[in-house]
Structure 1
Amino acid sequence: MSTTEHVRPGPTTRVRVREVSGGAARDRRDDLATEEPLEIRVAAGGATRTLAVTMRTPGADFELAAGFLAAEGVAGPDDIHSIAYCTDEDLPPEARYNTVTVRLHGAHLPELPTMHRHFMTSSACGVCGTASLDALRERRRSLSAGEATLPPVSAEVLYGLPRRLREAQGIFGKTGGLHAAGLFTADGSLLALREDVGRHNAVDKLVGWAQMNHMAPLSSHLLLVSGRTSYEIMQKALAAGLPMVCGVSAPSSLAVDLAREFGITLVGFLRDQRFNIYASPERVSLADR
C-alpha cells in the first residue's frame, strides 16, 4: 500500500479560465465549488455496510453523515458511538477523505429498508423517493401547536433573513455556486450556516451540527434555504422537528402537501420584502405591519 499522503479535498478548487468580456479575452485564476462523492458507511457489531453515496462539497462531512442518518430514520444522536473517516485497507488513499464510517452503539446493524440496497444521490436531487409518505407518518406525528415551541415570527424578521444568510456565505462569495441552509431563532439570530453544492446536503450538515451539539429536536427554530424548497428538504425538516421552513424561491407541490399534512409553516419567495405562506400561517405575525 502506498505511503503517499493524499491531500484532503477542500470546499473550493482553483482552476485557470479564459474570461471574455467586450470582445477582449484574458486568462486568470478562478475558484470553483468542489464537488466530490462521499460514501456513508454504517457499522455495528463487527458488520459494516454502505448506506449511501452522495455528491457533496467537502467540509462538515461528519455533520452531513449524522444529519443524513437522522433524516433517513437510521440513527439519532444517542445511537451514534463515533464518526470517522474510513482507513480500511481496501480503500485507495484518494478515497480516504471521501468515505465516512458511522459506528453505532448497537450490537447489530438496524434492519431498515434503506439498508438493503445501496443508492446513489446526486447534489441536485437528494434522496429522491427513499422515504415514502407512509414511512414519514410512522416516524413523526404531526407538529401540533403544543409540541412546537417556536413563538410567532414577525414579518419584519422574515424579511431580514435572506440578507443575513447571504452575508454569512463565505464560500459562495468565492465561487457563486453553492446553496446554503441557515438555522435561525424567532428573533432572526443566525445560529449556524452550512453550504454545499446540494441544498439537501446543506440541510443535512446543519441538522447534523445541531444533533452533535445536543440541540435536537429543533422545535424552537426555523430553517432558511437559499433555493427552492423540495420534498427532500421538508422530509429532513420534519425528521429534525423544525416547525418552520423558509425558502427564497418556490416550493414544490409535494413540499406544500407535506407541510400541510404535518403542520409545518412553509414560506416561499422570501425576498425583496415579500413572501408567500403556503401552510400553517399562524406562526407568522403581521401585528407590526
Structure 2
Amino acid sequence: MNGYSSLELILKDILLAINPSREDWSVRFHTIKELQAVVESIENLRDGWGRIQFISNARVPILKLVSGYGISCDISISNLCGQMKSKLLFWINEIDDRFRDLVLLVKEWAKAHNINDPKSGTLNSYSLSLLVVYHLQTLEPAILPPLREIYPGNMIEDLTGVRAAAVKHIEDICAVNINRFKSNRSRLMINRSSLAELFISFLAKFADICSRASEQGISPFSGRRQDIYSNMRWLPYTHKLFVEDPFEQPENTARTVSSNQMKMIVEAIQATRSVIMSPRQKKSKVCCFISGQVAYITFSS
C-alpha cells in the first residue's frame, strides 16, 4: 500500500459495493410493503419468510426474519424510541456526509471481525454508530458537535403526551440546531480529513477507549470522556465498556460487551491497524480486514 491514498481508494471501492443500489432500495421498500400486508396475521409469515426467530429477552423484544428476497428484517412493535433515535442519526448526517460513510465502513469492519453481534457479547450497530459520533466530535477541529447542541434534553423522557406533538417538537428543535451549526461562520477551521484518515484515526481512538474502559466511559451527549466512578448516573458500574445513549441517558448502549469478547474487539483493532498501516500489504488483504465479503467478490484471485 502507498499510504492514505491507496487506503482511500479501497474504502471507496468498499462503499461502492456495500451502499444499496436503486434496485436494492426498491427491493427493501417492497419488503416493507409485504410486511405491512402480513402483520395482521402472524401465520402469513410462514409463507415465503425464513429463519423466523423471536428475541424475547432483548431490551425491546423483536422478531427477526428473512424475506424471500434475502432481506434481513428486525420487527418491533410501537418502538417510537427506536424510530426517533434512528431519525436523529439520519439528521446528523446533514451536518457532514462523511458520518454516514464512516458508520457504514465501521459496521462492515466489525462484521468482518465478528464483533457486531450483541447476542454473542460484542457490539450492536447503534453503539458502533455512537462511537463514530464520538470520534468525529473529538477531532481537531471537530466535525460533529456534542449532541446536546442538537437536542439539549433527554429525548426519551420528552416523548410524552400527544405522540404527534411530541415528535414534532423534537424535530423542530433538532432542525433549528442543525441548521445553526451548519451555518455557523465563526468556525474558521474546517476538518477536511479523508475517509482513510478518519478510519485510521477511529481505530486508534477506539483502541484508546478500550484501554481506559475500566475507568472511563464516553458521552456523545457532552462529546467527551467521563470518569465512571465520579459520575453517579453511571453507578453501579458492571459493564466492560460504557457508551452512553445521548438520547436516553444514562443507558449504556454497549452493555452487551462481555469480558472475553472485549479482548476479541481489541485484537480486531490491533490486527486491522497492523495490516492497513503496513506498506507491504496487498490490496486484497487490506480489503479482507475491512470487509471480508467484498474481498471475496472483488479482489479474489
- TM-score band (shorter)? under 0.3
Please state which structure has a larger fraction of its residues in strand: 1
Could you say which structure has the greater relative contact order, defined with CA pairs below 8 angstroms and 6 or more residues apart?
2
The TM-score, its normalising length taken from structure 1, stands at 0.25
Query: TM-score w.r.t. structure 2 length?
Result: 0.25
The answer to which structure has the higher helix fraction is 2
